[in-house]
Chains A and B, each alone.
Chain A
C-alpha cells in the first residue's frame, strides 16, 4: 500500500504544481497517471507546441513547461504510479481514502486531489458495428504482449506512429501483417514511413490504401475483416484486427465515484477551496467546473494553490498556519535541500 498526504490523480501541469504547493506545507504527494510519463496532454499531445499565456513566460514549449515543473517539484520527492488508471475509491471510517488502480495498486491518503484534465487517455475505437463483441477475441486496441501474434495473421488499421511502428515490429513475429489506412500518406515519423515502404517492397507488409476496415468477420472470434477500397468491398482473412487510431481522453471510472458531474466535469466549490461534494476529495484544473470556469493551465495553478491550504487545514484541523512567501521562507526540500534568497551584505558607513 502506497501512503501519502495528498494523492493526486493526473500528472499534468496542475497535478505537478500541486506537489510544489503541498511541499511548502510539508505535505507529501503521490501521483497516479494512466499515461506512462508525467505531463498529461502537454507531454502526450502537444509537447512541441508553444504556450503563450503562462505568466512570466512570453513563450514556452509544452514539453519544456513539464520539464520545468518536474525540476521545480524535485525537492519534494513525489511518488508516481504511471501507466495505471485510478479505478476505484473507498472512504474509510477515519475519513481517509484508498484509491486502487486498474492494475490493483493501492494508495492510501487523507486527501485526494483529482487533477485529471479531460480524463485518462483511452484508445479511440472505430465505429464498426459489433466491434465490442470481438474485444479480446481478436480485436485489441493496445498491444500488451506481442507474443500473442506469433505466427498469426494480423490486420492493423491507422496512419499514425503506433500503427506504423507496430506494423514494423510485428513483421518479425506474425505470419502476415496487413496495414490498412484511409490515405496513401501517413501521419507518422518519416523514418517509420520509409521503413514500412521498404518492408512493403520486400513483401513483408501488405499495404492496403486508401481503404478502411468497415466490418469484422467471425462467429465467436475474429476470422477476418471486411475492407472497403473505393467502390470495392472485400474480405481479408486474419486472426487479429488491431485498430490503432491514437488516444482520446475519457473521464472514465472517476465518473462513477459519486461526485457531482456537470458538463463532463466535476463540480467544485470555487468560493473556497475547489472541494467536491465529497469532503476530502478536491478537483482542480481542467477536470473541474464552476461558474466562470476557464480551462487554462494558469487557472489550474491557482486552484492547486488554494486547494493545498484547505488540505492542510483538513489534515491538521488544530494547527494554525499562515501562507509564507518563498522569497522570505525559501524552499526546504524533503531531500534535505534548501533554496533561499541570499542574505544582503550591508556595509557599515563609518
Chain B
C-alpha cells in the first residue's frame, strides 16, 4: 500500500503537506497528532470515539468521504464552530482515495 499526501491547515492558518501511511489503520486525528500540528490536550481528547469534537476539521477539497456515522453526526450536532463541510478527524481513516485531501482544523474550544 502506498503512502498518500494530505494538506492540513493548522489552527494558526499554516498549511502543512504531510505524508500519511495507508497501512496503519490511522485516522486523520491521529495523523495530525503524529505531526504535532495541534497542541496535545486540544485534539483527540476522547481518544477517537466520536465523543468529543476536539478533532473537528473542515474539508476543503471535493474528495468523496465515507458516510457520516450516527455517532459522528450527533456529536457534530453538539459541537461548536460547525460548518456544512465539518467532519470529525477521528472518523476519517487514511485510505488511498484520500490522496491530495485538503483540510483545515476547526478552532479549539475554550
A126 contacts across to B, CB distance below 8 A: 80
Q: Contacts A45-B51, A248-B109 hold; do A181 and B77 have CB atoms under 8 A apart?
A: yes
Q: Is the CB of A187 within 8 A of B46?
A: no
B65 contacts across to A, CB distance below 8 A: none
Q: Is the CB of A264 within 8 A of B39?
A: yes
Indicate whether B62 reaches chain A with its CB closer than 8 angstroms.
no
Interface residue tally of chain A, by bracket?
Answer: 20 to 34
Within 8 A of A (CB), among B38-74: 39-42, 45-46, 49, 51-52, 54, 74
Q: How many Å lie between the Cα of A172 and that of B60 in the bound state?
A: 47
A49 contacts across to B, CB distance below 8 A: 49
Q: How many Å lie between the Cα of A117 and that of B62 in the bound state?
A: 38
Q: Is the CB of A248 within 8 A of B77?
A: no
A125 contacts across to B, CB distance below 8 A: 109-110
Q: Which of A127, A160, A185, A251 contacts B80 (CB 8 A)?
A: A127
Q: How many Å lie between the Cα of A265 and that of B77 in the bound state?
A: 29
Q: Is the CB of B42 within 8 A of A264?
A: yes
How many residues on the B side are at the interface (Cβ–Cβ under 8 A)? 20
Q: Is the CB of B45 within 8 A of A182?
A: no
Q: Is the CB of B49 within 8 A of A185?
A: no
When C-beta atoms are compared, the residue in chain B nearest to A49 turns out to be B49
Q: Is the CB of B41 within 8 A of A187?
A: no
When C-beta atoms are compared, the residue in chain B nearest to A160 turns out to be B78
Q: Which of B42, B77, B81 contacts A183 (CB 8 A)?
A: B77
Indicate whether B82 reaches chain A with its CB closer than 8 angstroms.
yes
Q: Is the CB of B52 within 8 A of A248?
A: yes
Q: Is the CB of A246 within 8 A of B78?
A: yes
When C-beta atoms are compared, the residue in chain A nearest to B40 turns out to be A263
Q: How many Å lie between the Cα of A181 and that of B109 in the bound state?
A: 19
- B103 shortest CB reach to chain A, Å: 20
Q: Which of A118, A158, A248, A263 contacts B39 (CB 8 A)?
A: A263
Q: Contacts A125-B110, A127-B80 hold; do A118 and B45 have CB atoms under 8 A apart?
A: yes
When C-beta atoms are compared, the residue in chain B nearest to A293 turns out to be B40
Residue in B77, B80, B81 whose Cβ sees the most chain A Cβ within 10 Å: B77
Q: Is the CB of A46 within 8 A of B77?
A: no
Interface residues of A (CB under 8 A from B): 41, 45-46, 49, 118, 124-127, 158-160, 181-183, 185, 187, 245-246, 248-249, 251, 263-265, 289
Interface residues of B (CB under 8 A from A): 39-42, 45-46, 49, 51-52, 54, 74-75, 77-78, 80-82, 107, 109-110
28 A-B pairs within 8 Å (CB atoms) are namely A41-B46, A45-B51, A46-B49, A118-B41, A124-B109, A125-B109, A125-B110, A127-B80, A127-B81, A158-B78, A159-B78, A160-B78, A181-B77, A182-B77, A182-B82, A183-B74, A183-B77, A185-B74, A187-B74, A187-B75, A187-B77, A245-B80, A248-B52, A249-B45, A263-B39, A263-B41, A264-B42, A265-B41
